Amino acid sequence: MTARMEQRFADVAAEGRPVLVTYFMGGDPDFDTSLAIMKALPKAGADVIELGVPFSDPMADGPAIQLAGQRALKGGQTLAKTLELARLFREGDKRTPIVLMGYYNPIYIYGVDRFLDDALKAGVDGLIVVDLPPEMDDELCIPALAKGISFIRLATPTTDDRRLPKVLENTSGFVYYVSMNGITGSALPDPSLIAGAVARIKAHTRLPVCVGFGVKTADHARVIGASADGVVVGTAIVNQIASSLTEEGRATDATVPGVEALVRGLAAGVRASRLAAAE
Amino acid sequence: MNQSPKLNSFRSGPDEDGRFGVFGGRFVAETLMPLILDLQDEWNEAKNDPAFKAELEKLGAHYIGRPSPLYFAERLTAELGGAKIYFKREELNHTGSHKINNCIGQILLARRMGKTRIIAETGAGQHGVASATVAARFGLPCVVYMGATDVERQAPNVFRMKLLGAEVKPVTAGNGTLKDAMNEALRDWVTNVESTYYLIGTAAGPHPYPEMVRDFQAVIGQEAKQQILEAEGRLPDLVIAAVGGGSNAIGIFHPFLDDESVKIVGVEAGGKGLDGDEHCASITAGSPGVLHGNRTYLLQDGDGQIKEGHSISAGLDYPGIGPEHAWLNDIGRVEYVPILDHEALEAFQTLTRLEGIIPALEPSHALAEVIKRAPKMGKDEIILMNLSGRGDKDIFTVGKILGMGQ
Ligand SMILES: Cc1ncc(COP(=O)(O)O)c(C=O)c1O
């Protein structure tokens, strides 16, 4: 069920602040380090975890996440191992929702039914699959919903009012608003434009709306969080991991603490955001 | 009751969702989806608009140089001692390959849609050159993404693109070949979706590209059919073309698909052999998957990660294939076979010496298959091959391999 996701959004809303969604790439730079990162995220203040599934051809990602995927693949990461990461995390944390984010082909090759069963067993709550628009809902979205896994859709600046109902139709969990036409890691656009877009989407749905792409600092999190139900931070975390690695791309003692420190700052940002809005 | 198990036509695809059987579709990010739907509407309008058709034909005749000749390869036929071999001479088109047929069509669409900037991906550089050419002709800025490996091995085409005013952006991700260039072009498109038209160079990608590119290239087969009927009074027994993404092949195949007597063969890049990873035989050695907007045969590992292919020819160096080919393979209408690098290289030299035509390395693959099959066929049989491009771009690569460099 998506109970865990609903509960988390409800709990955070009751605190009067937006949700902090943190993305990192499963297996970057190796399995054990990424498990340690995953475990550190909620402790540092992350509310929802987006677990990246590496793909050889990440068409919607900028250089930072492309490189993270390459490091993970080089380290032997697979979809099966990413599910294993989720399962090991879930043993110690029953409450933080996990959303798998990636591209369709690895899931298609794994087999949709087998994947959904294994994901459910591993404690996965939702899926974001970049290259499955509503037109392709029969592939994965409908089967996922039938099994009780949320299918979180991306809405973008090109998703106009005419199209929005179609995009929202089978969406569950939350709506992920992509702040600009572009790839991950681009610069954050004017926050007032984003606030307008969030309001537009909220007029069509009762689901929470989280904003991602371009949110990198505590200050961004604070400003965007003033109008959105949540903020998604990805590239900043991935960059933080990359900057801590050795020249050969191995983890160091600074890798996990670096992520923790960054996320603590972002968590402070979301906690300050409604205060800012109330001012 | 009509219980015929046969399809009544092999030419009716795709359906309205862009599917050829289970292949094709629209697997793209949401940002691109509204644009892809717009493109589909525009294309549906354009293809029924007599003015569009007239402009296409006019540019075809006066700018590209259509119809391209059908040529009887007399000496090659005599040498092989079997079937009569005809070439559809797409290498004589303006810019030197079939790629321009599609580019002219798509730039007219881009203009109809009010787009002000063109992007393209290229492998061999032929599509890049054709895109840069039509962009110059219609006064639009053009950015071409090209794998860094290909920038090196297709240097003459890089220079041509630059002369034509295009910006060539080398892509270093992956192996630096066509698939990486396509990823980067898609990233550009997502970022500049409002202003930019993505001019895809082959019959692949999200719907409506596979259908649209096929229809722009089908002029090859339509002309060839008429020309062979004029020359021989009958249809060919065998039609052959090389398959990268599959645009020149589907262009010559499509008008013949419903002619039962015509056997059709697509030639994939067998590289250094199908045993290892150094080939690009997506159908012969791949499996169905989803990449670049469509479901089709791909070279991939057990985790669904796409492999980097290899071919001596940059234009065939793509680990996928257009979805219509995937379907034509599965229903058994077209046979797909691999040709190795060295076989293509030998065919390249044979044609050069016997007919005085320097072919591109891509159609040299088709030619190698012709060389295998013609001697086994009767002298009264006819082979039609798509000579999709000329080899000027490849002379340095070939010269280096043959030790003919300075
Ligand atoms: C001359 C020529 N033939 C064939 C190809 C392969 O592409 P397609 O399969 O789309 O015809 C290329 C691609 O660059 C080419 O330049």
Residues B111-132 have pLDDT tens digits of: 999 999 999 999 989 999 999 9
With contact defined as beta carbons under 8 Å apart, do A91 and A35 qualify? no
Choose, from B88, B99, B115, B225, the residue flagged as catalytic: B99
Element (H, E) at A44: helix A31-44
Residue B2 has pLDDT above 50, yes or no: no
- Alpha carbon distance A117, B160 (integer Å): 53
The nearest alpha carbon in chain A to B296 belongs to A105
Backbone φ/ψ region at B96: left (φ over 0), alpha (ψ -120 to 50), beta: left
Q: Taking the CA atoms of chain B, what radius of gyration do you get in angstroms?
A: 20
Contact A58/B at CB under 8 A: yes
Nearest one of B28, B39, B392 to B212, comparing CA atoms: B39
Nearest one of B381, B379, B101 to B222, comparing CA atoms: B101
A-B contacts at Cβ under 8 angstroms: 116
Judged by average pLDDT, the poorest of A10-14, B322-326, B372-376, B397-401 is B397-401
- Alpha carbon distance A75, A37 (integer Å): 16
Token readout for B19 is 């599917």
- Helix (H, G, I), strand (E, B), or coil: what is residue A150? strand
Q: Which residues in chain A are contacts of B304 at CB distance < 8 A?
A: 55, 79, 105-110
Q: Taking the CA atoms of chain A, what radius of gyration do you get in angstroms?
A: 17
ipTM of the complex: 0.95
- Smallest CA–CA distance, residue B151 to chain A, in Å, is 20
- Residue B7 is predicted with a pLDDT of 66
- Residue A234 is predicted with a pLDDT of 96
Confidence of residue B6 (pLDDT cuts 50, 70, 90): low
Give B382's strand partners.
Answer: B84
Element (H, E) at A197: helix A191-202
Nearest one of B22, B46, B176, B67 to B111, comparing CA atoms: B46
Q: Is B167 a catalytic residue?
A: no
Burial of B124 (0-12, 13-18, 19+ CB in 10 A): buried
Q: Which residues in chain A are contacts of B173 at CB distance < 8 A?
A: 66
User: Stretch B209-218: mean pLDDT, rounded?
Assistant: 98
Backbone φ/ψ region at A268: left (φ over 0), alpha (ψ -120 to 50), beta: alpha
> pLDDT by residue (tens digit) across B312-336?
998 998 999 999 999 999 999 999 9
Segments of B77-160 assigned E as strands = 84-89, 117-122, 142-147
Please report, in tens digits, the pLDDT of each residue of chain A (279 residues total).
468 999 999 999 999 999 999 999 999 999 999 999 999 999 999 999 999 999 999 999 999 999 999 999 999 999 999 999 999 999 999 999 999 999 999 999 999 999 999 999 999 999 999 999 999 999 999 999 999 999 999 999 999 999 999 999 999 999 999 999 999 988 888 888 899 999 999 999 999 999 999 899 999 999 999 999 999 999 999 999 999 999 999 999 999 999 999 999 999 999 998 765 555
> pLDDT by residue (tens digit) across B147-162?
998 998 888 999 999 9
- Residue A83 is predicted with a pLDDT of 98
End-to-end CA distance of chain A: 38
Orientation angle between helical segments A31-44 and A79-92, nearest 10 degrees: 40
User: B303–A80: do the CB atoms touch at under 8 Å?
Assistant: yes
- Helix (H, G, I), strand (E, B), or coil: what is residue A233? strand
The nearest alpha carbon in chain A to B191 belongs to A182
Find how far residue A49's CA is from the centre of its chain: 6
Interface test with A, best of B16, B22, B187 (most A CBs within 10 A): B187
- Residue A247 is predicted with a pLDDT of 95
User: Stretch B104-108: mean pLDDT, rounded?
Assistant: 98
Residues 143-172 (A) with a CB less than 8 A from some CB of B = 153-160, 163, 167
Determine the longest span between alpha carbons in chain B, in angstroms. 72
Q: Which residues in chain A are contacts of B29 at CB distance < 8 A?
A: 59-60, 130-131, 133, 154, 156
Question: Is residue A143 reached through a cis peptide bond, with omega within 30 degrees of 0 on the bond before it?
Answer: no
Residue B84 has pLDDT above 60, yes or no: yes
Backbone angles phi, psi at B83, to 5 degrees: -60, 150
Q: Rounded to the nearest whole angstrom, what is the distance from the C-alpha of residue B127 to the centroid of ligand 1?
A: 8
Segments of B148-251 assigned E as strands = 167-171, 196-198, 238-242
The nearest alpha carbon in chain A to B180 belongs to A57
Confidence of residue B405 (pLDDT cuts 50, 70, 90): low
Residue with CA at minimum distance from ligand 1 atom 4: B362
Contact B277/A at CB under 8 A: no
Q: How high is the mean pLDDT of chain B? A: 95
User: Stretch B24-50: mean pLDDT, rounded?
Assistant: 96
With contact defined as beta carbons under 8 Å apart, do B252 and B225 qualify? no
Judged by average pLDDT, the poorest of A153-162, B53-62, B214-223, B381-390 is A153-162
B263-271 β-sheet, strand order: B70-72, B84-89, B382-387, B238-242, B263-271, B335-340
- Helix (H, G, I), strand (E, B), or coil: what is residue A50? strand
**Among residues of chain B, what percentage have pLDDT more than 90?**
91
Instruction: Give the Cα-Cα-Cα angle A231, A236, A242 (nearest 5 degrees).
Output: 150
pTM greater than 0.90 (yes/no): yes
Segments of B19-62 assigned E as strands = 19-20, 23-27
Find how far residue B13's CA is from the centre of its chain: 18
Question: Is residue B363 reached through a cis peptide bond, with omega within 30 degrees of 0 on the bond before it?
Answer: no
Confidence of residue B368 (pLDDT cuts 50, 70, 90): very high
With contact defined as beta carbons under 8 Å apart, do A174 and A210 qualify? yes
DSSP structure class, residue B62 = I
- Alpha carbon distance B313, B124 (integer Å): 7
Judged by average pLDDT, the poorest of B60-69, B175-184, B292-301 is B175-184
Q: Is B99 a catalytic residue?
A: yes
Confidence of residue B202 (pLDDT cuts 50, 70, 90): very high
With contact defined as beta carbons under 8 Å apart, do B85 and B113 qualify? no
- Residue B214 is predicted with a pLDDT of 98
Confidence of residue B3 (pLDDT cuts 50, 70, 90): very low
- Residue A93 is predicted with a pLDDT of 98
